Amino acid sequence: MSILFDEENRLFYIHTAGTSYCMQISAAGYLCHAYWGARIRELHPSDAIEKRMRALSPNTDPNDLDFSLDTAPLEYPAYGSSDFRTPAFEVQFADGSTVCCPKVKSHRMIKGKPPLAGLPATYCEDESEAETLEITLEDTVGGLEITLCYTAFPGYDAIVRSARLKNTGKNEIRIMRALSMSADIRCGGFELLQLSGAWARERQIVRRPLVPGMQSVESRRGASSAQQNPFLALLSPHSGEEHGEVYGVSLVYSGSFLAGAEVDQFDRVRVFIGVNPFDFSWLLQPGENFQCPETVLVYSGAGLGKMSRTFHRFYRERLCRGAYRDRERPVVLNNWEATHFSFDAHTIETLAAAAGELGAELFVLDDGWFGERNDESSSLGDWFVNRRKLPDGLNKLAAQVNASGTAFGLWVEPEMVSRDSALYRAHPDWCLHVEGRDRTESRRQLVLDLCRSEVRGEIERMLTELLQSANIRYVKWDMNRNITEAGSTALAPECQREVSHRYMLGLYELLDRLTRKFPQVLFEGCAAGGGRFDPGILCYMPQIWTSDNTDAAERLKIQYGTSIVYPPCAMTAHVSEVPNQQTNRSVPLETRAYAAMMANFGLELDPLRLSGEEREAVKRMVADCKSIRRLVQFGDLFRLKSPFEGNDAAFLYASPDRLEAVAAYFRLLATANAPEVFLRFAGLNPDARYEETVNGGAYYGDELLHSGLPVRLYGGDFQCRFWHFRAAR
Ligand code: DGJ
């Protein structure tokens, strides 16, 4: 049993293999947070919640001056009574009041994990994998019920949490804020880690000490965004990759979010995450429910690396789904950086033939194949082939590409519309907008109103027709702008603040329908690169274009940061030409290739512009990638050196039985007369004897772990070294 209720002491225990999460119902019926951390047998019941009278802290019960909502560790804190910290939710009742005091009404335990209505979610394949606890809180005066759901995945060491609000009264309730989780945990003095950045510089690691008061990250862009990621971690001071305590909180959502940590007056940390309350409200009619997205909680007592590996396995196996979930991902050649918008059928066929010769398994035709699309200014929404460029249509082209030995894939950007398009001319009101106001363009495009079912229906119809029109085995689903003028003609004036969230619900419905309809198609998420790299998208598309920045030196940082939460098989990484189109930097081909091999390898160059020697080298690298990709995509990642901390980066991927591993070391800038570098490995079996097959040699695991190997690089900037270890089975 991973979930227990100690009735006498009113204590809930949720256990996974290495974690316990405990709550206690206070004497007055409030749900209090009692513990989250390394697995324990039990909590001493009288010590679980502090009982002590504190100056200036109000008391809800005049007969119990030792209890105050101001100081109690709470589990889903309300707004309006005597807790002055950040609330998890806030509602306004029909009388205008915002005071709400929910107390525990009931609880039940369920085998397995129920699905989450309309939202992406983790799942179990068999009921025995998970257990769910539902605790219902009730505010009797206002007629509001809140059901908190906790699912323990003991074998994955993860706990999944969400909240559902129900209007049980006779009048409507306006939800002003409904976060997915909140917990008051004991980790004062810890540090906060966030993944922040910008377009082409996504998910950079930022770590800072927690200080009293509020620290938070958020997106207000209608997408999880390149600027912030719906994740945060709290780390014990000096913790590193393999040591120290880490609490990771990740939101399964792709829209605007808020994540934060508020350090209170007694050094408790209120950690929370959910849909961003900024420009959000939701009218809940009597009898209706509002379901918050779910959050995945991972505790590690052995550093950030263990937290990441826990997220990786869980997201890989119990969030991603479909035919490609467990399959090695094909080597792609994408034509975007080779041609941009200017190509014709001959160019594409020649590129595809060259891609096949290099060993690529999938050729992807990127932007520019449809409508009158010759630059960014037109045709989004017109998902029919441009006959001037591709006179024989997609079916013939796909057949031609297939004949050269590669599968055929296609780029689309279905959530968008260009003003200059047949779709916009026919339906100018189908984009998000506010009547009488300018429609702000970004990349010359507008956002379709996915709150409207007829808009979703038409997108589904067009894409269905498209995907049935040719042998298309892959779709790159792009999204190149954020939401502005978030207004929908489908919604009443009092519901306009629901638009951003309803947009996401509409998107999820569309993705769900299309991915079910085309189970054999590999869908790859993209949002001007990594502008929507989040668990919500991964639920429908098992891989995401990590960044538009293909410069290997900068990619190392982006991939390193992304790997804090997301598994390598989710990150696509392509070798592109030099000088690099984003940075103008020239990194040697071998280093570009190994950097791409650290994730889901592909090519984004014109093979015809390679010299004969380079072509042979790329062929070898494609073959090398195929020989190690199972290990990289589905093995355990150990980050050995952080590019955020120095002039180098190193990664190791080990098989679950630790009998095989590959590792790569990357040095950025060369230094004259540099000190010797020794690289210590991790994740190996100290007692195993490994053959190293790239450079030659045999080593015991203990030497590799504790002494390490020298890395001698003489060739200038951006050099790398690669090892492949194998021990006898
Ligand atoms: C942005 C993507 O990230 C690129 O890879 C490419 O597909 C362009 N859009 C095409 O417009």
pLDDT in tens, 41-88: 999 988 888 889 999 999 999 999 999 999 999 999 999 889 999 999
The answer to whether 383 and 413 are in contact (CB under 8 A) is: no
Q: Which residues contact 424 (CB under 8 A, 6 or more apart)?
A: 381, 417, 418, 430, 431, 446
Torsion of CA 504, 506, 508, 511, to 10 degrees: -130
Q: Beta-carbon neighbour count of residue 225 at 10 Å?
A: 29
Helices (H), strands (E): how many in the chain? Answer: 12, 38
- Ligand 1 atom nearest to 529, measured from its CA: 3
For residue 110, how many C-alpha atoms fall within 13 Å in the half-sphere facing its CB? 14
Grouping H, G, I as helix, E, B as strand and the rest as coil, residue 503 is helix
Probe ligand 1: pick from 341, 343, 366, 416, max atoms within 8 Å of CB?
366
Probe ligand 1: pick from 375, 480, 546, 547, max atoms within 8 Å of CB?
480
Q: What distance lies between CA 601 and its chain's CA centroid?
A: 19
Residue 715: predicted pLDDT = 85
The answer to whether 689 and 659 are in contact (CB under 8 A) is: no
CA of residue 337 to ligand 1 center, whole Å:
9
- Ligand 1 atom nearest to 526, measured from its CA: 3
CA of residue 367 to ligand 1 center, whole Å:
7
CA distances for 520 relative to 191, 410, 601, angstroms: 44, 14, 20
What is the distance between the alpha carbons of residues 12 and 260, in angstroms, rounded to a whole number? 25
| Amino acid occupying residue 679 | L
Nearest in space to 197 (alpha carbons), one of 528, 444, 683:
528
Probe ligand 1: pick from 332, 333, 336, max atoms within 8 Å of CB?
336
Complete DSSP assignment for 3-25: EEEETTTTEEEEE-SSEEEEEEE
CA of residue 263 to ligand 1 center, whole Å:
41
How, if at all, do strands 362-365 and 332-334 pair?
parallel
The answer to whether 638 and 682 are in contact (CB under 8 A) is: yes
What is the distance between the alpha carbons of residues 653 and 666, in angstroms, rounded to a whole number? 15
- Ligand 1 atom nearest to 366, measured from its CA: 7
List the residue whose alpha carbon is closest to atom 9 of ligand 1.
528
How, if at all, do strands 362-365 and 407-412 pair?
parallel
**Token code pair at residue 586:** 């020239």
Q: Which residues contact 627 (CB under 8 A, 6 or more apart)?
A: none
**391-433 pLDDT tens trace:** 999 999 999 999 999 999 999 999 999 999 999 999 999 999 9
What is the distance between the alpha carbons of residues 440 and 397, in angstroms, rounded to a whole number? 36
Burial of 110 (0-12, 13-18, 19+ CB in 10 A): middle
CA of residue 529 to ligand 1 center, whole Å:
7
Nearest in space to 228 (alpha carbons), one of 251, 262, 247, 209:
251
Within 6 A (CB) of ligand 1 lie 336, 366-367, 411, 478, 480, 526, 528-529, 545, 548
Q: Which region holds residue 553: left if phi is over 0, alpha if psi is between -120 and 50, else beta? A: alpha
Burial of 227 (0-12, 13-18, 19+ CB in 10 A): buried
Probe ligand 1: pick from 365, 367, 582, max atoms within 8 Å of CB?
367
Residue 714: predicted pLDDT = 86
Q: How many residues does the structure list for the chain?
A: 729
Residue 47: predicted pLDDT = 84
CA of residue 80 to ligand 1 center, whole Å:
46
Residue 48: predicted pLDDT = 82
What is the distance between the alpha carbons of residues 683 and 725, in angstroms, rounded to a whole number? 12
- Ligand 1 atom nearest to 476, measured from its CA: 7
What is the distance between the alpha carbons of residues 656 and 317, in angstroms, rounded to a whole number? 14
List the residue whose alpha carbon is closest to atom 2 of ligand 1.
528
What's the sign of the alpha-carbon dihedral 273, 276, 281, 287? negative
Nearest in space to 561 (alpha carbons), one of 603, 530, 519, 517:
530
CA of residue 40 to ligand 1 center, whole Å:
49
List the residue whose alpha carbon is closest to atom 10 of ligand 1.
367
Say whether pTM exceeds 0.95. yes
CA of residue 478 to ligand 1 center, whole Å:
7
Q: Hey, which residues are catalytic here?
A: 478, 548
- Ligand 1 atom nearest to 376, measured from its CA: 11
- Ligand 1 atom nearest to 604, measured from its CA: 5
Nearest in space to 103 (alpha carbons), one of 132, 141, 49:
141
What is the distance between the alpha carbons of residues 145 and 106, in angstroms, rounded to a whole number? 11
CA of residue 546 to ligand 1 center, whole Å:
11
CA of residue 354 to ligand 1 center, whole Å:
22
Grouping H, G, I as helix, E, B as strand and the rest as coil, residue 300 is strand
Q: Which residues contact 391 (CB under 8 A, 6 or more apart)?
A: 345
CA of residue 366 to ligand 1 center, whole Å:
7
Probe ligand 1: pick from 340, 373, 442, 548, max atoms within 8 Å of CB?
548
Complete DSSP assignment for 96-150: S------EEEEEEEEES----TTS-----SSGGG-EEEEEEEEETTTTEEEEEEE
Nearest in space to 468 (alpha carbons), one of 374, 393, 543:
393
What is the distance between the alpha carbons of residues 254 and 415, in angstroms, rounded to a whole number? 14
- Ligand 1 atom nearest to 545, measured from its CA: 3
CA of residue 690 to ligand 1 center, whole Å:
42
List the residue whose alpha carbon is closest to atom 11 of ligand 1.
367
**Token code pair at residue 191:** 């540090």
Ranges under pLDDT 50 in the chain: none
Residue 119: predicted pLDDT = 98
Nearest in space to 487 (alpha carbons), one of 433, 427, 430:
433
Place of tokens 């040719």: 470
The answer to whether 48 and 65 are in contact (CB under 8 A) is: no
Place of tokens 């594409």: 348
- Ligand 1 atom nearest to 411, measured from its CA: 7
- Ligand 1 atom nearest to 340, measured from its CA: 10
The answer to whether 252 and 535 are in contact (CB under 8 A) is: yes
List the residue whose alpha carbon is closest to atom 1 of ligand 1.
528
CA of residue 590 to ligand 1 center, whole Å:
25
Residue 50: predicted pLDDT = 84
What is the distance between the alpha carbons of residues 375 and 14, in angstroms, rounded to a whole number? 54
Paired with 295 in beta bridges are: 161, 251
| Amino acid occupying residue 716 | G
CA distances for 687 relative to 70, 222, 481, 684, angstroms: 53, 51, 52, 9
Task: Output b/e per residue, 292-320; b: 16+ Cβ within 10 A.
Answer: bbbbbbbbbbbbbbbbbbbbbbbbbbbbb
CA of residue 413 to ligand 1 center, whole Å:
9
